[in-house]
Amino acid sequence: MSATIIDGKAFAARIREQVAHEVSRLTAEGVTPGLAVVLVGADPASEVYVSHKHKATVEAGMNSFEHRLPAETSEADLFTLIDRLNADPEVHGILCQFPVPAHLDERRTVARIDPSKDVDGLSVTNAGLLATGGDALVSCTPLGCLMLLRDRLGDLTGREAVVIGRSNLFGKPMAQLLLRESCTVTVAHSRTKNLPEVCRRADILVAAVGRAEMVKGDWVKPGATVIDVGITRVPHPDKPGKTRLIGDVAFAEARETAGAITPVPGGVGPMTIACLLANTLTACCRAHGLAEPEGLTA
């Protein structure tokens, strides 16, 4: 029997509706969450992402502040802008779209953002809060994966989870989130011995390595929940000159063994912007000492 398909697009739409409802309530009380997005240069993919974020922010009823800077912008000028946004009470979330031009340092840029406004959840402060059980702003993609898992499985206590990938952006925060849910967590990576055997132990298998269809069907424990975070563009087998998106998991194979699985596209991807909006709402509530909406945080 084929696995249940986890519809991230539909779930993300519900999250965005919930966020919009909460924003409407706050606005009626005189508080409107605000998200500032900073784009340095004119990377085509980044331009598209920033446009999507602006549209989603406005649709949720939030204030959207876009700052588009020329590629030659100096670090000093970028930091001056970030400092101004840090001090602006109308801005509750700040996101600098990466990649930035080569002369700018991403880590230094993230460190300049006030951690309470770091809605990407990338700062050392937020990573530390997550690791120690504090009220962190959590990186959007792992937060979205956690929401999908909670929705599918309910209580995650005692489940064995394997996260393939140890990046600061995803693998490490995903593992920390699963630990907070009382899972038994293994972080696997390129140096892991007997990786297929390790994966076959998992009740929850999360793949985030950026290697197309690396995880085969026989790596999956029967009935496991599989979250595929990978995304690779490859030539389309039936349409010459066209491409398609595939994940880190060999979907057709894994679907025959798993209990539930996210597709690529349409699985994890739509959750990222939804969780960016949720983080901005959370940051706004914390800034004003208001109760945080249920189900939108870790």
**What CATH number corresponds to the domain at position 94?**
3.40.50.10860
User: Domains in the chain: how many in total?
Assistant: 2
What are residue 187's phi and psi, to 5 degrees?
-100, 115
Residue 254: per-residue pLDDT: 98
Distance CA 162, CA 201 (A): 8
Tell me, what CATH number does 239's domain have?
A: 3.40.50.720
Give the structural domain span for 157.
140-268
Q: Determine, yes or no, domain membership for 129.
A: no
Is the domain of 225 the same as that of 187?
A: yes
Is the domain of 158 the same as that of 257?
A: yes
Is the domain of 150 the same as that of 264?
A: yes
**What is the percent of the chain with per-residue pLDDT over 90, rounded to a whole number?**
96
pLDDT at 55 over 90: yes
- Taking all residues of the chain, what is their mean pLDDT, rounded to a whole number? 96
pTM for the whole thing? Answer: 0.96
pLDDT at 1 over 80: no
pLDDT at 256 over 80: yes
Q: Determine, yes or no, domain membership for 110.
A: yes
* Cross-strand bridge partners of residue 160: 184
Q: Determine, yes or no, domain membership for 210.
A: yes
Is the domain of 176 the same as that of 256?
A: yes
Name the residues annotated as catalytic. Answer: 53, 97, 120
Is the domain of 185 the same as that of 258?
A: yes
Q: Determine, yes or no, domain membership for 194.
A: yes
Residue 288: per-residue pLDDT: 97
* Cross-strand bridge partners of residue 64: 35
pLDDT digits 0-9 by tens, 169-190: 999 999 999 999 999 999 999 8
